[in-house]
Amino acid sequence: MTLAGYGLRRAGVGLLQILAVATLVFAFLEALPGDAAVAAAGDDPDPARIAALRQQFGLDRPVWQRYGDWLGGLVTGDLGASLRSGRPVVSLLGTAAGPTTVLALVTLAVLVPLTVALGVCAAVRAGGWFDRAVSSTTVALHCVPEFALAVLLIAVFALWLGLLPATAVGGGLLEDPALLVLPVVVLLARSAAAPVRTLRGAMIDALASDYVAHARRHGLPRWRVLLGHALPNAAAPAVQQLARTVDWLVGGIIVVEAIFAIPGLSAVLVEAVAARDVPVVQGVTVMVAAVAVLANLTADVIAFRLAPRAGVA
Amino acid sequence: MRRAVAVTLTGIPLAVAVFGPVLAGFTNARRGPAYAFGPGYPLGTDGLGRDVLGLVLRGGLSTLALAAAATVAAYGIGTLVGLLAAGTRRRWMDETLMRPLDVLLAVPALLVLLLVAASAGRNAGIIVVVVTVVTAPAVARLVRTAALDAARHPAAEAMVLQGESWWAVHIGYVGRCIVRPLLADAGTRMTTSVYLVGAANFLGVGLPPDAADWAVLVDRNRAGLLLQPWAVLVPAALIVAFTLGVNLLADDLTRRRR
Amino acid sequence: MIEVRQLCAYAGETALVREVSFTVGPGRVLALIGESGSGKTTIGLALLGEARPGVRLTGTARVAGRIGYVQQNPAAALNPARRVGAVLREFARAAGRPARDAVAQALDSARIPLTWRELRRYPHQFSGGQQQRLVLAEALAGGPSALMLDEPTTGLDPLTRDAVIGEIAALARRGLAIVIATHDLGAARRLADDVVVLRDGQVCESGPAARVLHAPSHAYTRQLLAAEQHPRAGGSLAAAEPVLEVEGLTAGYRQPVIQDISFAVPGGSRLAVVGASGSGKTTLARCLAGLHEPAAGTIRLRGERLAAHLGGRSLAQRRAIQYVFQDARAAFDPRRTVRDQVARTAIRLRGMASDEARAHADATLGRLGVGSDTASRMPAGLSGGELQRAALARALLAEPEVLVCDEVTSALDTVTRNASVALLAGLPGTLVLITHDLGLVSAVADTVAVVADGRLTRYGPVDAVLAETMEDAR
């Protein structure tokens, strides 16, 4: 199969996935007791008021009609309006997405080279002290709750040693990079573990392969054999693993933003959850699911290019 | 050495969580000033003036019990679905069982939690249900893969050639083969559940804000981190220690299998 | 110029290679002849200055200039994630040669003319034969003065084998000093100027090919030549009723591995299925046993159509076709004793009570040389050879009409292997052997099926098929 053909097929699957998530989110909220009108009525559960709100939100129309509107809205970029502020969800998310995107991109920018460096170095001396240290650490850090890890790091580095700021209150992330250090470290602790382990394992396999021995025999420099011949083969599973961690990264960012008071999506989301502002939560969920699907799609296409033989759909 | 570290890291939080509630009766039940140190409050007081030691002793069981409940439920459902998918020779049944799980895996677990909390409100029971639902697919996938591997193993094929019944092959051989990988995996699933339950409680969608729970304590008292660090650091350290310890123990189990 | 003096290789205390010496001048071809495990590959790696982990070398192995190496199963030497052209250029540059000319020259010498578009392809986009040539081209890209080829003709169909022999001869004419390690005496006869016959790491005999291969002085060399030249006489097979009929069999995973294979196995015959690794012979065998569900085609046992999958076959049908796995250790449950596992065959397929079944199991195991107390251990307590025989006993206890054996000798050392060959030769009933061990074929089989790239390319009495191969070899 060609790269373009595979990419198209994979994009089709991705679209279906997003559609499925959107449907699930919709169906799920339909199934739950109480709707947006009940939530919006809040402490004043007067039936007449709820009925009025229902009419106002269009909740009195048939399910399939609202489902159609919801999907149509997704396509045209209309995710409805916040029940609390009345602002369009899209613009609400647009403002808040900035700091979140910065945090995510900076984390990824550190994550990728870090994964390669740790994975390759550990594999080169498999069984050595460095490998054992990396393996133990990455094993141990699986699913360490960010909020707990973060407060411990804040206590040590911000309060005790006074090296780094404890929160991002009152500063721009880009203007003051020191603000990003602790949040990124906390995010890396969890998200680096799985890709590093995958890359290490795949590198060990690749280094033991006949084609690497073959390349060595041709007198290529050591770094060239490692990076030019072993890594391209080992990278495919690691890239896919990296995409899977996007899921965790998203969860992590929500928590980390809350801890470090970064004014991103997390603030919007937590506030919306507390106020049961359903359209906002729906919007964030679908948007994040779309990002996760996109990340997986990109990773699969890259992995296909790296290991054309595997061709997993 | 690593083993001893792992056992210690797991043991201390576990002991505090399990025996703490009994010992908590002997601690100071009187409210004092907020974020204060003083006689009768070995670890000081929290933002509501409660004794931190007592809160820590009482606060472990909720997180660990919720996580354990979710893990056990996820295993029950996941194993059933996984075995069904692996055991069937009908391609469509395998697909119907496994495909919907793919969609679920596309949504970050924490987001599902928040989405549910937004619609259903704050409720610890719902947290358990959601954590179960988001963990079960991974378990199903693992069970299915392990069972398929075992069923395609020459030893299993040899049994079929010998005329052994489906039950003898699948329960007698395949079942026993997948027990160990599942046990090793249970450790990491437990930490995943602790993570999700902890995050939910921290983000305020699980237990009520005045509950004695490690994650809730970290959330409610982090504003006072400068004044009274113990109210935040002790529960945080216990959660981190438990996660690290269980991960290392699970890894140990996986290694010895090889 | 290759010069080897007093080369020894040890793995711990065991000597893998003992005091081997030879010289190969420019334009000359030397053949290292011996069975697998005789030390050929160890010597080949020593020429490159390499040793497998845990292996210690003494003596000298000197090569004037560079040496190119083509390993056995060359496809594995191609990097699946890299375009072939880029790798070729990289190898040429590493040797300090101008990439463009060196690559063109190497491709020409390896007789695989590729356009620049084809050079942008990945290894999996080439056929098996092309892949082998690509590896040769890569070995040549560095401009070597010597070549080491490990089993260059193993598992090839006669046509490709012929072409490969021609290529190697052409390379020698260009002045390369060439060493080939092989157990293909025909290829050695056509190519080699000198021969070294190895057995268990020791040189039995060496000298000019013309003398050694026509008037051998060592008993082992004579034995090798005899095994090659006196295939068993086949009986009148065509007369026997077919016990197994295969028609239009196509099977695989995502892509078909075997395609449209049809043949009939006469009752009481001994069929050897031979072919290169990856040619599909194991898939074919698994289809016969019902372990792999074919995509199309039918299998009949005494005219009765068999279900595609084992689950759909009756106990009587399962009893009629038994299968012995390549990896005997994997084929036993590590948590039950070998005797208990073997006896289950008699319980399930012959309806015996468990005491009776155990007695039968012990008798069969004993006949195959596995003692009663050995059989009462867990599989981990048995050697590979013992497990292989226990696996055979498990299958034989069913008293099958057809016994399918998948590469049952490949993992065994020489002594165990010879014992197994004798054992297989003495078995009653119809036998289907999947193998690439030509010694086993000539010792046991009366019919040969050659599978290449998933298709049945030749099928007939062993004399006829081997005679054709012999003709190619001369």
Adjacent-strand bridge partners of B38: B41
Q: What percent of chain C has pLDDT over 90?
A: 14
Whether B12 has a pLDDT exceeding 70, the answer reads: yes
For testing the chain C interface, which of A204, A209, A217, A304 should be mutated: the one with the most C CBs within 10 Å? Answer: A217
Contact check, Cβ <8 Å, B118/A149: no
> Cα–Cα distance between C343 and B164 in angstroms, integer?
12
pLDDT in tens, B97-112: 666 666 666 677 788 8
pLDDT of residue A217: 87
C11: Cβ contacts below 8 Å, ≥ 6 apart? C54, C55, C56
Strands C304-305 and C296-301: antiparallel
ipTM computed for the complex: 0.80
Helix%, strand%, coil% for chain C, nearest 5 = 40, 25, 35
pLDDT of residue A38: 66
The alpha-carbon radius of gyration of chain C (Å, integer) is: 24
Is some CB atom of chain A closer than 8 A to the CB atom of C138?
yes
At residue C233 the predicted structure's pLDDT band, cuts being 50, 70 and 90, is very low
The mean pLDDT of C198-224, rounded to a whole number, is 86
pLDDT of residue C231: 43
pLDDT of residue C179: 94
Average pLDDT, chain C: 84
Nearest CB to A307: which of C80, C95, C138?
C80
What is the distance in angstroms between the Cα of B176 and the nearest Cα belonging to chain C? 10
The mean pLDDT of C394-407, rounded to a whole number, is 89
Searching chain A, which residue's CA lies closest to the CA of residue C51? A213
Is some CB atom of chain B closer than 8 A to the CB atom of A192?
no
Adjacent-strand bridge partners of C11: C14, C55
> Cα–Cα distance between C44 and C38 in angstroms, integer?
12
In this structure, which amino acid lies at residue B2? R
pLDDT of residue C169: 92
For testing the chain B interface, which of A151, A245, A291 should be mutated: the one with the most B CBs within 10 Å? Answer: A151
Searching chain C, which residue's CA lies closest to the CA of residue A236? C81
Contact check, Cβ <8 Å, A233/C95: no
Contact check, Cβ <8 Å, B162/C333: no
At residue C32 the predicted structure's pLDDT band, cuts being 50, 70 and 90, is very high
Predicted TM-score (pTM) above 0.95: no
What is the distance in angstroms between the Cα of B258 and the nearest Cα belonging to chain A? 15
| Chains with at least 3 CB pairs less than 8 angstroms from chain B | A, C
| Chains with at least 3 CB pairs less than 8 angstroms from chain A | B, C
Nearest CB to C81: which of A210, A220, A232?
A232
Is some CB atom of chain C closer than 8 A to the CB atom of A207?
no
Whether C277 has a pLDDT exceeding 50, the answer reads: yes
For testing the chain B interface, which of A17, A18, A100, A144 should be mutated: the one with the most B CBs within 10 Å? Answer: A144
Lowest mean pLDDT, pick from A264-268, C202-206, C223-227, C370-374: C223-227
pLDDT in tens, B162-209: 888 878 888 788 888 888 778 778 888 888 888 888 888 888 787 777
At residue B73 the predicted structure's pLDDT band, cuts being 50, 70 and 90, is very high
Which DSSP helix (H) or strand (E) runs through C217?
none
Whether B59 has a pLDDT exceeding 90, the answer reads: no
Is some CB atom of chain C closer than 8 A to the CB atom of A124?
no
Q: Where are the domains of chain B?
A: 2-24+40-257
CATH annotation of B2-24+40-257: 1.10.3720.10
Is some CB atom of chain B closer than 8 A to the CB atom of A180?
no
pLDDT of residue C235: 43
pLDDT of residue C30: 94
pLDDT of residue C26: 92
pLDDT of residue C130: 82
Residues 215-244, chain A: which have Cβ within 8 Å of C? Answer: 215, 217-220, 224, 228-229, 232-233, 235-236
What phi and psi values does residue A237 have, to the nearest 5 degrees?
-65, -35
Per-residue exposure over A250-284, b if at least 16 CB sit within 10 Å of its own CB, e if not: bbbbbbbbbbbebbbbbbbbbebbebbbbbbbbbb
What single-letter DSSP state applies at residue B172? I
Contact check, Cβ <8 Å, B163/C310: no
Whether C230 has a pLDDT exceeding 70, the answer reads: no
pLDDT by position in tens, chain A (length 313): 677 888 888 888 888 888 888 887 787 767 665 566 666 666 666 777 777 777 776 777 777 888 888 788 888 877 777 777 778 888 888 888 888 888 888 888 998 899 999 999 988 888 888 888 888 888 888 778 888 888 888 888 877 777 777 776 666 666 677 778 888 888 888 888 888 888 888 888 888 888 898 898 888 888 898 888 888 888 888 887 887 777 778 778 888 888 888 888 888 888 887 777 777 888 888 888 888 888 888 887 887 777 665 433 3
State the residue for tokens 């298709």: C455
For residue C156, the SS3 value is coil
